[in-house]
Structure 1
Amino acid sequence: MASPVDPLAMPGAGTPPSTFEEATYRKVSWRLLPLLLLCYLVAYLDRVNVGFAKLQMATDLHLSDAVYGLGAGVFFIGYFLFEVPSNLILHRVGARLWIARIMVSWGVISALTMFVTTPTMFYAMRFLLGLAEAGFFPGIILYLTYWYPAHRRGRMTTWFMTAVALSGVVGGPVSGYILKTCDGLNGWHGWQWLFVLEGLPSIACGVLVWFALVDRIAHARWLTDDEKRLLEHNIDVEEAGKEEMPLAHVLSSPRVWLMSLIYFSFVMGLYGVSFWLPTLIKATGVTDAFAIGLLSAIPFAVAVVAMIVVARSADKRRERRWHVALPGFAGALGLVLSVTWAHDTWLAMLSLTIATAGILTSLPLFWSLPTAFLAGTGAAAGIAMVNSIGNLAGFLSPYAVGWLKQATSSNATGMVLLAAFMLLGALLALSVPARLVNK
């Protein structure tokens, strides 16, 4: 029987894809993305639920803002140390085994954080959590390059990263509810219940990944031979136009270092908001934990819509730089306005919504920049390097905001610092040559 489409006679650039091709990518997306999105949702929930735990934990354990900020940030030291090795292992052994291992180990460590009693124990558990989770996010970014060409990957990465925003939509109210209703249950504090109840889903998802994820196109039994040929041809064509850099060249490449600096700047904004949003809302005069949780869901809900709309525009126009930079500018503006309107709950919520939507929209589209020119082992190492260096901002950002708040008795200086980094990241994104990334 004749194939519905000849993969070796694919249309050229600018030619509309066939109905068969569109149907094939829809089939792949419905099979992969719901699982990946769920995994990242619980990953991000475990990473930032410490922001809600702080509402009770800081008082119970006598943690200062500086101690909390350091503990929240030390996660990224462990994350940084194991990021590149983890991605190289994933490239060698496959995503199914390695992602399952990552998820089960971090779920266990997150749940065990409930037994923390001292600042030193807090630091240790956060460090181990980062070590366990290292490789998950860059591993998924690498995994998507096995399935989607660049002009489709921006939207797919965005759908995957909506989990960050959805974790805020779901996690805020759920975390606030757990803190309020479980406090004192079985003699445990609400923050202890928070860690254990939000760690268990990660373990369950790790088991699900083992049974449901496939490593490569060729291993997908749910694809026909024609569909596999089409997908593999599209990837082969794109890979042929990329630069396969040796590992040493990746680590010294000015392009990769530029990408790392851009990502570092955006991550400064991301974790400044993620770890401190409940505290910022509380500072406007809201005291009820559940109310704080409900209000914190608003910026993330708006961010989901913004992420999808802007990603669709970027893929449709095959333009990357401005679609990364403009949300970055919006994030900076929102952070500055949050300082100006800090004592009015609803104006502060408006500014924090602008900031959150801008920050979260810039991040997934950023990943269309380095994946446009890296291939093979170079992609595995390059993506991991960019993510690991960028995520050092996850250490610096909450610690800097906490230190500045303690030193000045105000959130204002910390938010202005984060806005400056968002502005820097947006300007650097515009400095990337369009020919390199607009594919």
Structure 2
Amino acid sequence: MGDEEDEDLNSPEAILARYPLLKDKSKKDLDLLSKRLRRRLDIRMLPIITLCLMINYLDRSNVTNARVAGMQKDMGMDDVQWSLGISLFYVGYMITQLPGSLILAKYKPRIVIPVMMLGWSIPTILFPFVRSPGGFAAARFAVGFAEGPFLPAVALMTSSWYVAEELPFRMALWHGAQALSNVFGGPFAAAVLENMDGVRGMHAWEWFMVIEGALSIALAIAAGFMLPNWAHNTPWLTPEETEMAQYRIVLSAGGIDENKSSMGIWEGAKLGAKDPFTWLFMLLHFWLIAAQSFKDFLPSILKTMSSSNLMTYLLQSPCYLLGYLAILGFGWSSGRFKDSVWHVIGPIILSAAGTVMLITTLNVGVRYTGVCFLIMGVFSGLNIQVSWSTQLVPGPRHKKAALLAIANTFGSSSHWYTPYFFLTNQAPLYRFGGGLILVSIALTIVTVLATWWYVVRLNKKLDVAEAEVNVDRVARGLPELTKGWRYPL
């Protein structure tokens, strides 16, 4: 064999040699450049992503607060018609996830993501013109159609900028926007829904939709200026930072360069569909989303613990704030200890305890604590699951985009049936819905353990193959290769 065949092309030294502006720098200089790049991303990308996700989640769940303010009654809908509208949102949401994510993987995020935001803002602003159950269902379908690719798009973009140990906490910052939106969403809903009824002849919930849609449009415009594209074509990076951005991700992915793939959009989708990890994370995402089924009905659940609509709106904030802090805490811990398995299982066991507290007693204090535990656990587990999936499939980008979109699409299908588990005749304990959550949590644990078993099996195969290569190298008088990339647990 020749020397070229003996060279480890994916060693840290060989990877660094691919980048002419970096290869002669000292380790200290590389570390400083990496920190400078990470700081720029943290300051410029993460805040706008978090704000966009906040408005996205607020837009997704705004009808739950509007329902308390009389939206369902004003449109003349019964519970089944209302649940149909909630379900149709997720039909539209699922249709666009895969094609939208693959389009984002090919084109520029700073253009595609703002277009998505404008797509859901327009039907939100037009909600005051909706006057029937059919109109409600159509409007919610349109909003879901535009929102579909957004979450997997943001996950894909984040995983293309941050390395494995940085990723869980950075994803937690924006993934926690779901909880954070409700921290501010409750007081925001209270301010609008309690004070603007009758202003200019409009219902308070109509003003709620108009104001929220306008905020979303403003953020879409800001995102067009603030967001990056990909590591190789972001205009506000210096040439050195551009190479460092690529080097960091390639090194973390064991030599895979997602920017160098010539793979077509649908070729990536086929690869993603064939990967067993896609199927495992489809199931895992499905059960975690099913365990979150309460969130579309949380104001109605909290109303059974309060004496007024105002108190119902405000009660959401403390439990969602605790949820956000839990997401950050588990995200930091996951990256710090490089563990995903127990950082999914641990939080959702907390959620199981919270669910039992919620459905087995009428004591308001116990039930409210149960709501807090429920939110803290399932939201934290979902964040770690998304982060873990991008680490297990580091590239090519279209394949990773397909995995995220397929998993999220399949997970979202649980919304076709979960709304029917929280009908008003189940109040105040909602035991039917609580039972659904407990079953979903149990199946989440089973799926995590199955994924753990598969990862261990793959890593053992890599160990054996690497050992065989090293035996051959030693026999030829060559040094052993250092241990290469492994599938993270």
TM-score by length of 1: 0.91
In structure 1, C-alpha distance between the alignment counterparts of 2:52 and 2:120, rounded to whole Å: 12
Q: Which has the higher contact order (CA 8 A, sep 6+)?
A: 1
In structure 2, C-alpha distance between the alignment counterparts of 1:39 and 1:334, rounded to whole Å: 29
Equivalence for 1:182: 196
Equivalence for 2:432: 413
SS of the residue corresponding to residue 150 of structure 1 reads coil
In structure 2, C-alpha distance between the alignment counterparts of 1:114 and 1:369, rounded to whole Å: 41
Unaligned runs of 5+ in 1: none
Query: Aligned to 2:48, which of 22, 35, 43?
Result: 35
Identity, % of aligned positions: 26
Alignment of 1:295 with 2:308, yes or no, is no
Alignment of 1:122 with 2:168, yes or no, is no
In structure 1, C-alpha distance between the alignment counterparts of 2:31 and 2:269, rounded to whole Å: 37
Alignment of 1:364 with 2:346, yes or no, is no
Q: CA RMSD in A?
A: 2.4
Quote the offset at 1:69 in angstroms.
2.0
Alignment of 1:265 with 2:287, yes or no, is yes
Equivalence for 2:353: 333
In structure 2, C-alpha distance between the alignment counterparts of 1:232 and 1:422, rounded to whole Å: 38
In structure 2, C-alpha distance between the alignment counterparts of 1:88 and 1:221, rounded to whole Å: 22
Query: Aligned to 1:204, which of 204, 218, 228?
Result: 218
Equivalent residues, number: 427
SS of the residue corresponding to residue 166 of structure 2 reads helix
Kept in 2, the 8 Å contact 1:104–1:204? The answer is: no
Quote the offset at 1:57 in angstroms.
1.3
Counterparts in 2 of 1:8 and 1:31: CA distance versus 1, 3 Å: farther
Equivalence for 2:82: 68
Equivalence for 2:447: 428
Kept in 2, the 8 Å contact 1:65–1:406? The answer is: no
Q: Which runs of 4+ in 1 moved over 6 A?
A: 8-11
In structure 2, C-alpha distance between the alignment counterparts of 1:128 and 1:92, rounded to whole Å: 24
- Alignment of structure 1 residues 24-423 onto 2, 5 Å: 24-55=37-68, 56-240=70-254, 246-270=268-292, 272-284=293-305, 286-341=306-361, 343-374=362-393, 375=395, 376-402=397-423, 405-406=424-425, 411-423=430-442
Structure with the larger helix share: 1
TM-score by length of 2: 0.82
SS of the residue corresponding to residue 369 of structure 1 reads helix
Q: Return the letter of the residue paired with 1:167.
A: S
In structure 2, C-alpha distance between the alignment counterparts of 1:291 and 1:47, rounded to whole Å: 22
SS of the residue corresponding to residue 328 of structure 2 reads helix
In structure 1, C-alpha distance between the alignment counterparts of 2:382 and 2:24, rounded to whole Å: 34
Unaligned runs of 5+ in 2: 1-18, 262-266, 457-485
Quote the offset at 1:246 in angstroms.
4.3
In structure 2, C-alpha distance between the alignment counterparts of 1:246 and 1:24, rounded to whole Å: 29
Quote the offset at 1:66 in angstroms.
2.6
In structure 2, C-alpha distance between the alignment counterparts of 1:416 and 1:300, rounded to whole Å: 22
In structure 2, C-alpha distance between the alignment counterparts of 1:264 and 1:150, rounded to whole Å: 24
Structure possessing the higher radius of gyration over alpha carbons:
2
Over residues 91-121 of structure 1, what are the superposed CA-to-partner deviations in whole Å (9 max), with x where a residue is unaligned?
A: 1221111101110110111121222221111
Q: Return the letter of the residue paired with 2:282.
A: S
In structure 1, C-alpha distance between the alignment counterparts of 2:445 and 2:26, rounded to whole Å: 36
Quote the offset at 1:291 in angstroms.
1.3
SS of the residue corresponding to residue 181 of structure 1 reads coil
Kept in 2, the 8 Å contact 1:273–1:356? The answer is: no
Kept in 1, the 8 Å contact 2:359–2:429? The answer is: no
Q: Return the letter of the residue paired with 1:255.
A: F
In structure 1, C-alpha distance between the alignment counterparts of 2:204 and 2:24, rounded to whole Å: 59
Over residues 198-254 of structure 1, what are the superposed CA-to-partner deviations in whole Å (9 max), with x where a residue is unaligned?
A: 111111111111222221223344433333222211212344556988432322433
Q: Return the letter of the residue paired with 1:300.
A: Y
In structure 1, C-alpha distance between the alignment counterparts of 2:366 and 2:84, rounded to whole Å: 29
